[in-house]
Amino acid sequence: MLIISDLHGVIIDTSSILELRSKLAKQLYGIQIAPKTFFRKEVLQNNLLTEGQYRQICGKVYGEWQYVQRMQEVKGISHATQKLSRRGGIEVIILTTVTGKMLDCAKKWLKEHQIDYKDIIGVGLDGDRQSLLESFKPDIYIDDKPETLISLEDKKIKLLLFDWWYNKGIDVPKVGRVSNWQDILKIAGV
């Protein structure tokens, strides 16, 4: 069995990332933005930051170890991946948008948190996650972005949406919602 998982928002706790973005906006630009609302679309639409400022913040949050090391894990993730690996026959591959030194930081974070996985692939911001998933043909794919999952419907992949406040109101009829890794293990039959 192959499980493919997104990184940020499935393995790494989104709240801790948004906290870092908020702290950096204050530090670098003196702008106060509530962590819970610190999403690209929202901050740009509301003219709270320019695209360049947003990018600079993200460059630091994801690309400098002093910030990456402060990211928290989603509860139960290291235990869950270790259990999957002990069980045998189930591989976990991580897909993420980050590349280059951001990907190196992500790998270091995964190592420090003892997350057991087979491989991590940085697809890039404009990367074609869909084609990659089609070629891997995983049994299960988990993401926190409904749009990504909806685009994969009818691909014979069990799709799971990791439940957060920011994806609550979105209707995803063919996608299962999970709120922790215990649920994912159950679905994987572990």
Please give the biggest Cα pair distance in the chain: 50
d(CA 184, CA 170): 20
Q: Which is nearer to Mg ion, 49 or 146 (CB)?
A: 146
9 class by beta-carbon count within 10 Å (0-12 exposed, 13-18 middle, 19+ buried): buried
d(CA 49, CA 32): 10
Cα 188 to the chain's mean position, in Å? 19
Q: Which is nearer to Mg ion, 12 or 90 (CB)?
A: 12
Tokens of 63: 């690309």
Binding of Mg ion by 73 (CB under 5 A): no
- Residues binding Mg ion: what is the number (CB under 5 A)? 4
Q: How far is the CB of 66 from Mg ion (least distance, A)?
A: 22
**Options 3, 4, 5, 9; binder of Mg ion; rule CB under 5 A:** 9
The residues near 146 (Cβ < 8 Å, ≥ 6 apart) are 161, 167, 170, 172, 175
Q: Which is nearer to Mg ion, 8 or 129 (CB)?
A: 8
Which positions from 129 through 148 interact with Mg ion, judged by CB under 5 A? 144
Binding of Mg ion by 6 (CB under 5 A): yes
Report yes or no: 103 and 96 within 8 Å, Cβ to Cβ: yes
Span near Mg ion by CB under 5 A; candidates 9-17, 46-54, 84-92, 158-166: 9-17
Nearest position to Mg ion, beta carbon = 9
Span near Mg ion by CB under 5 A; candidates 3-11, 45-53, 98-106, 151-159: 3-11
Q: Which residues of the shown chain bind Mg ion in the complex (CB under 5 A)?
A: 6, 8-9, 144
